[in-house]
Homo-oligomer: A and B are copies of this chain.
Amino acid sequence: MFKETNIRSFAKGFSWRIIATITTIIIVYLFFGRLDLAIAAGAIEWISKIFLFWIHERVWIKIRWGKKRITPFNLWMTGLPLSGKTSIADKVFEKLNKKNLPIQRIDSKDVRLLIPDTGYSRNDRINHIKRIGYLVKTLHSNYISTICSFVSPYRKARKAVREMVKNNVFVYVKANIETCKLRDYKGVYKKAINGEIKNFTGINDVFEEPQNADIIIDTDLTNIDQASEKIVNYLKKYHLK
| Chain B hits for A137, CB < 8 A | 114
A49 close to B (CB within 8 Å): yes
A142 close to B (CB within 8 Å): yes
Contact with B along A140-164 (1 / 0, CB 8 A): 0111100000000000000000000
Q: Count A-side interface residues using an 8 Å CB cutoff.
A: 61
Picked from B8, B27, B135, the residue with its CB within 8 Å of the CB of A44 is B27
A53 close to B (CB within 8 Å): yes
Contact with B along A111-126 (1 / 0, CB 8 A): 1001111000001000
B116 and A127 contacting across the interface, CB-CB below 8 Å: yes
Rounded to whole Å, the gap between the CB of A204 and the closest CB of chain B is: 23
Copies in the complex: 2
Picked from B2, B24, B130, the residue with its CB within 8 Å of the CB of A45 is B24
Main secondary structure of the interface of A (DSSP, over half): helix
| Chain B hits for A8, CB < 8 A | 65-67
A104 and B138 contacting across the interface, CB-CB below 8 Å: yes
| Chain B hits for A19, CB < 8 A | 52, 56
Given contacts A27-B44, A41-B27, contact A60 B12 (CB under 8 A): yes
A sample of 18 more A-B contacts (CB under 8 A), given A28-B28, A135-B138, is A1-B102, A1-B143, A2-B64, A3-B69, A4-B67, A4-B68, A5-B67, A11-B66, A12-B66, A16-B56, A19-B52, A32-B32, A102-B142, A104-B138, A115-B130, A115-B131, A135-B135, A139-B139
- Closest 9 pairs (CB-CB, A-B): A8-B66, A2-B67, A114-B134, A1-B102, A3-B68, A116-B127, A142-B144, A5-B66, A117-B127
